[in-house]
Amino acid sequence: MPPGGNIAASWVAMRALGEDGYMKRAKELMDATDQLKDGVRKIEGLKILGSPHMTCFAIGAADPEIDIQAVADVMDGKGLNFNGIIQITCRYFKPLNINQRTYILNA
């Protein structure tokens, strides 16, 4: 998929918020993402896949007995959508609302 939509959305956001406002929001989102990744790392049986540097990261099962799809179903039931990756046993998550981080970490 071409990145045009993301580029256009970023441009509009920067125009609306100004560079300082945009950078402030980006930092808030990165901080929230780091908190979420740290929270996932503390959950026995789950792990972060790879070395994500931005706000989207993949969550997998560190224990082969854990069905990550079942974990995702429980989270979906709590109103948190973890998107699937085809033919890979993991779910990826991209926090869109930094105010949800406490709810997510406690879910």
pTM for the full predicted model: 0.70
Q: Does domain 4-106 have CATH number 3.90.1150.10?
A: yes
pLDDT digits (tens, 9 = 90+) for 16-38: 999 999 999 889 989 988 998 99
- Using H for helix, E for strand and C for coil, what is the string for 4-68? HHHHHHHHHHHHHHHHHHHHHHHHHHHHHHHHHHHHHHCCCCEEEECCCCCCCEEEEECCCCCCH
In the predicted model, is pLDDT for residue 15 greater than 90?
A: yes
